[in-house]
């Protein structure tokens, strides 16, 4: 690791600014979450059996859209920190930190169109790391999204850096980052009158509309007013990463990226930054 002091380097300052915005975001979202803006709602449309009841998660209040502005600031500063260190590593003012989606690593029979796209990705990476020390280029290469195997619908490819980079482009060129709310560490249980009849469900993450309780009444069907679903959890900012696969916790992705780059990636790369003459 480098013994030089990079604490005031551009990439470190940009990363620190991103972390500052994360704290601001967490404060605002904590106030929102403290209002417990969610509930379990009976899902009548799916009931094909009058003895089979289901409940879904309903978010009763969405977070202020202004939070998307803060998220945009976080991601823009994070992306800028990557480009700053890329410039320092290469000694070029117009260098950038590559994030190449695919070069065909797992595709043995590419179409001509795919082959062309893969070649463009390889060329783009080579240009980005031009004049960097081979050791630094190797570290960056291991971070590339194309090293993650292609997804199927059971195990989708969700690459943190690629996702955050795409959100930066949305924020800069198209619109505010679309956010929704999901429920982390969600727990639910069903009570009829005062008796616990369903010991409970647990999920690491539920997005809105997900089934949070499912109950069969094999004997007497109770009055709906006597059935309560107790639901608890922590609201989280969520985004859709893969179509048809629900949503992912955006804050967790951001925290992960900031932590890894601040404590691991940047220290390893800084030792290969040329000294100024």
What pLDDT digit, counting tens, does each position of 229-243 carry? 999 999 988 877 665
Task: Report the percent of the chain where pLDDT is more than 70.
Answer: 92
What pLDDT digit, counting tens, does each position of 114-132 carry? 999 999 999 999 999 999 9
Per-residue confidence band for 222, with pLDDT thresholds at 50, 70 and 90: confident
Query: What are the structural domain ranges in the chain?
Result: 10-270
Of 237 and 141, the one with more pLDDT: 141
What pLDDT digit, counting tens, does each position of 45-68 carry? 655 678 888 999 999 998 888 888
pLDDT of res. 241: 66
Per-residue three-class SS string for the chain: CCCCCCCCCHHHHHHHHHHHHHHHHHHHHHHHHCCCCEEEEECCCCCCCCCEEEEEEEECCCCCCCHHHHHHHHHHHHHHHHHHHHHHHHCCCCCCCCCCCCCCCCCCCCCHHHHHHHHHHHHHHHHHCCCCCHHHHHHHHHCCHHHCCCCCCCCCCCCHHHHHHHHHHHHHHCCCCCCEEEEEEEEEEEEECCEEEEEEEEEEEEECCCEEEEEECCCCCCCHHHEEEEEEEEEEEEECCCCCCCCEEHHHHHHHHHHHHHHHHHHHHHCCCCCCC
pLDDT of res. 246: 63
What pLDDT digit, counting tens, does each position of 244-269 carry? 556 778 888 899 999 999 999 999 99
């Amino acid at each position: 690791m480098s013994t030089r002091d990079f604490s005031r380097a551009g990439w470190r300052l940009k990363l620190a600014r991103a972390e500052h915005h994360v704290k601001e975001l967490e404060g605002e979202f904590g106030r929102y979450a403290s209002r417990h803006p969610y509930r379990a709602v009976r899902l009548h449309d799916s009931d094909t059996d009058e003895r089979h009841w289901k409940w879904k998660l309903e978010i009763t209040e969405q977070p202020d859209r202004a939070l998307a502005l803060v998220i945009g600031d976080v991601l823009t500063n994070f992306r800028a920190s990557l480009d700053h260190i890329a410039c320092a590593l290469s000694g070029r003012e117009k260098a950038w930190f590559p994030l190449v989606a695919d070069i065909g690593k797992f595709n043995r029979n590419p179409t001509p169109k795919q082959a062309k796209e893969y070649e463009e990705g390889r060329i783009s990476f080579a240009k980005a790391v031009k004049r960097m020390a081979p050791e630094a280029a190797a570290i960056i290469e291991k971070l590339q999204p194309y090293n993650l195997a292609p997804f199927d619908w059971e195990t989708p490819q969700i690459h943190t850096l690629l996702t955050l980079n795409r959100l930066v482009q949305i924020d800069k060129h198209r619109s505010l980052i679309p956010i929704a709310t999901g429920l982390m560490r969600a727990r639910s249980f069903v009570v009829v009158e005062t008796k616990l009849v369903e010991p409970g469900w647990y999920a690491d993450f539920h997005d809105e509309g997900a089934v949070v309780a499912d109950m069969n009444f094999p004997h007497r069907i109770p009055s709906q007013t006597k059935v309560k679903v107790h639901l608890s959890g922590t609201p989280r900012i969520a985004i859709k990463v893969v179509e048809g696969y629900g949503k992912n916790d955006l804050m967790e992705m951001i925290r992960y990226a900031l932590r890894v780059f601040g404590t691991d990636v940047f220290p390893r790369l800084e030792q290969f930054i040329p000294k100024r003459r």
